[in-house]
Structure 1
Amino acid sequence: MEVVLLEDVKALGKKGQIVKVNDGYARNFILPKKLGIEATAKNLNDLKLQKANEARVAAEQLEAAKELGAKLSEAAITLSIRAGEGGRAFGSVSGKEISAAIKSQLGYDIDKKKLVLPEPLKTFGTHEVPVKLHKDVTAKLNVKVIES
Structure 2
Amino acid sequence: MVKVRRGYARNYLLPRGKAHEVTPASLRQLENLKTKRAEREARELNEAEELARRINKLRVIFKLETGETGKAFGSITAQDIVTRLKNEIGDEIDRHKIHLEHPIKTTGEHEVAIKLHHDVTVNFKFEVKSAHEEPAKAVEPAESAEPAPKRGLFRRRK
Question: What is the TM-score normalised by the length of structure 2?
Answer: 0.79
Aligned residue for 1:137? 120
Answering whether residue 57 of structure 2 is matched by residue 74 of structure 1, we say yes
From 104, 114, 117, the counterpart of 2:100: 117
The CA distance in 2 between the partners of 1:76 and 1:114, in whole Å, is 19
Structure 1: distance between partners of 2:88 and 2:51:
15
Q: CA RMSD in A?
A: 1.1
Distance in 1 (CA, whole Å) between partners of 2:2 and 2:63 is: 59
**Following the alignment from structure 2 to structure 1, what is the Cα–Cα distance between the partners of residues 71 and 129?**
11
Give aligned-pair identity as a percent.
Answer: 37
Structure with more strand by fraction: 1
Extract structure 1 runs of 4+ deviating beyond 2 A.
105-108
Q: How does 1:51-66 map to 2 (within 5 A)?
A: 51-66=34-49
Q: Which residue of 1 aligns with 2:149?
A: none
Query: Structure 1, unaligned stretches of length 5 or more?
Result: 1-17
- Deviations 1:57-106, CA, capped at 9 Å, x for gaps: 10110011011101101112221111012212112110011111111233
- More displaced 10-residue stretch of structure 1: 120-129 or 102-111: 102-111
State the TM-score, normalized to the length of structure 1. Answer: 0.84
Counterpart for residue 39 of structure 1:
22
